[in-house]
Amino acid sequence: MALDYKKLKAWPFTDVEQSYTWKDSALYALGVGYGHDPLDERQLRFVYEDRMQAVPTMPVVLAGPGFWVKDPASGIDWVRVLHGEQSLTLHRPLPVEGTVIGRTEVVGIIDKGRDKGAILHQRRTLREKTSGELLATIEHLTFARGNGGFSEIEGNGPPGGDPPAPAKPPAPETPPDLVCDLPTMPQSALLYRLCADLNPLHADPAVARSAGFPRPILHGLASFGVAGHAILRSCCDYDPSRLKSIGLRFSGPVYPGETIRTEIWRSGTRVQFRARVLEREVIVLSHGIAELAD
C-alpha cells in the first residue's frame, strides 16, 4: 500500500487533552538530567515542589497524537521510519501543572525519491485548556524511508511533494564559545519512558539487539532535552523565560550512562550548537539552533 498524499494531508487527528501535575514536571526534569547535582539550587527549582518551575523543553511530551503512523490506513512503512529533526517554539513559560490541549496536523510531505524515502513534516500546537492561550508550537520531521517515490503516481501530490522545511544551519567551523558536559544515568531511558514513549527499544535488551543495538538506547527526545538543559544552563542562567525556541537534527544514538557534550556558538540572541558523546566521540545531535530573549 503506497503513501496517499491527500489522505495524509487531511489525516483526522483528534485534539488530545492531557492533565499533568508537578510530579509529572519533576519526572520529566529528572529524565533529562536536572538534579544530577542535588546541591545546585538552580537545578532543584525544576525537581523540588517549593517555588518550582517547568523545564522549557517539556512541551514535546505533552498531548501528542501517539505513534499514529503505525495505522495501516496511513500507508506508511512504519518499521522504517526515523525521527529526523525536532523543533520547539515557546510562546510563554509552561505552567508547572495544568491541563493542555494538543492539536496535530501534517503540514508537508516531501518526496526525496524512490530510493531515498519521504519526509513527513508534522506540527502540534499546545494550548492551555481554560484560557485557550497558546503555550508552544512543536514541529518534527519524520523520515519514512520506505515511502519514497509516491509523487510519481499520477494524482498523488505535486511532483516532489511539498516544498521542504527551511534547512537548519550546520555548526560553525570555529571553536565553540561555550562547552557544557552533562551526564546521563544508566537508568535515564527507564525514567524518561515514563514521560511519554514506552517503546521497548529503550528498555528491553532483546528488542534493542533485534534492532541492531548492543543495548537499549536513550530516546531522541531525551537527548533533545539534555541539549536544552545545556542551553538553559550555559546561556540562560536556568531562567526558562529566556529560551524562546530550539531545534536540531538527530545524528546518532545515545546510550544511557554516556556523557553528552554540547558545543555552543553565540551571536547575540542566536545560538548554534551540536552535541557529541564523550565516551565514543560521536556526534549525536547536529544543526542545532536556539533563539533567546534579549
Render the burial of 18-34: b for 16+ CB within 10 Å, e for the rest: bebeeebbbbbbbbbbb
Give catalytic residues, as residue numbers: 197, 202, 217, 220
Q: Residue ranges of the alpha helices (H) in the chain?
A: 5-9, 22-31, 41-44, 188-192, 205-210, 220-235
- Rg of the chain over Cα atoms, rounded to whole angstroms, equals 19
- DSSP structural state of residue 274: E
Q: What share of the chain is helix, strand, coil (3-state, %, to 5)?
A: 25, 30, 45
Q: Residue ranges of the alpha helices (H) in 77-219?
A: 188-192, 205-210
Q: Residue ranges of the alpha helices (H) in 32-166?
A: 41-44
